[in-house]
């Protein structure tokens, strides 16, 4: 089994998949192969169906079962070189609106973070719509203070993009990068190197609790809030798409459901 998992990892690395995706695919395929136990080189569509059904029976979410199916499909097509049809449809995923923090709530969160580095990290994530992975991987050379832009490199899907940098953060950024070379991380760990994603997430979670905000928000809600607030300011959805790095406009359009000005003008019949 280890031989097949190594081949899977090699194929994923050749295609420049992220380390997180490689770990995820490897875990999913390893789980499937352990269930199958033998004949790893044979693609048995019925066994794949039974495996996916077992995940559903275990109460796994649609996102989880789809992730397993995606990984197994990749394994069959790119490692086993299967060219037949795997006639298993992906499960429907629930259509949930993103959790968005108001401008006041963003202000409250920032007001309770005393640590200057952590405060800047949260402010920068919100002001540019950065993912947690993008924040911790940000290097000094990625920030252009004169142009007020942040260059996000090798983001999700291996894409680069340019996003916004507010002028009010310039002094704070200058303080944190002073003395650093261009290849050093902006938000370095006390032990050297970059912060972990979990550390960044914990900073946000602690601030959310300290600010007394009850929404089930996560670090990613900063990105949701960035997009929603831009649309509220009248920015065209296609510019928002570019700033977020979305390949498909439909992904960005979910935020128009959160910030529908026409809907806000309608009053409830209960007066």
Please give the positions annotated as active site: 131, 156, 220, 223, 246, 255
The angle at the Cα of 140, spanning 139 to 142, to the nearest 5 degrees, equals: 70
Residues 214-230: b if buried by 16+ CB within 10 A, e if exposed: eeebebbbbbbbbbbbb
- Report the distance separating Cα 33 and Cα 35, nearest Å: 5
Overall residue count recorded for the chain in this entry: 271
Which two three-digit tokens encode residue 46?
Answer: 């019925």
Which two three-digit tokens encode residue 69?
Answer: 């199916």
- Report the distance separating Cα 110 and Cα 121, nearest Å: 10
- Report the distance separating Cα 124 and Cα 204, nearest Å: 13
Which two three-digit tokens encode residue 231?
Answer: 């649309």
DSSP secondary structure of 212-225:
T--S---TTHHHHH
Which two three-digit tokens encode residue 111?
Answer: 């007001």
The span from the first CA to the last CA of the chain, in angstroms, equals 66
Residues 148/164, Cβ–Cβ less than 8 Å: yes
């Amino acid at each position: 089994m280890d031989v097949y998992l190594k081949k899977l990892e090699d194929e994923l690395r050749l295609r420049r998949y992220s380390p997180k995706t490689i770990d995820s695919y490897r875990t999913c395929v390893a789980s499937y192969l352990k269930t199958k136990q033998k004949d790893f080189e044979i693609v048995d569509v019925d066994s794949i169906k039974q495996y996916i059904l077992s995940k559903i029976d275990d109460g796994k979410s649609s996102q989880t079962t789809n992730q397993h199916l995606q990984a197994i499909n990749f394994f069959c097509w790119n490692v086993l070189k299967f060219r037949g049809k795997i006639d298993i449809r992906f499960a429907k995923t629930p259509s949930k609106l993103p959790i968005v923090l108001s401008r006041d709530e963003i202000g409250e969160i920032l007001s309770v973070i005393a640590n200057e580095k952590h405060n800047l990290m949260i402010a920068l994530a919100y002001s540019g719509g950065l993912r947690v992975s993008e924040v911790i991987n940000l290097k000094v050379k990625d920030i252009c203070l004169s142009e007020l832009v942040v260059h996000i490199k090798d983001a999700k899907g291996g894409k680069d993009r340019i996003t916004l940098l507010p002028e009010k953060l310039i002094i704070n950024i200058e303080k944190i990068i002073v003395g650093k070379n261009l290849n050093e991380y902006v938000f370095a760990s006390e032990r050297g190197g970059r912060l972990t994603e979990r550390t960044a997430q914990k900073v946000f979670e602690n601030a959310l609790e300290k600010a007394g905000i009850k929404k089930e928000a996560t670090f990613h809600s900063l990105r949701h809030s960035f997009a929603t607030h831009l649309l509220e300011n009248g920015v065209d959805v296609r510019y928002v798409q570019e700033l977020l790095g979305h390949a498909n406009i439909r992904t960005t359009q979910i935020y128009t459901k959160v910030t529908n000005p026409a809907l806000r003008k309608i009053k409830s019949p209960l007066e």
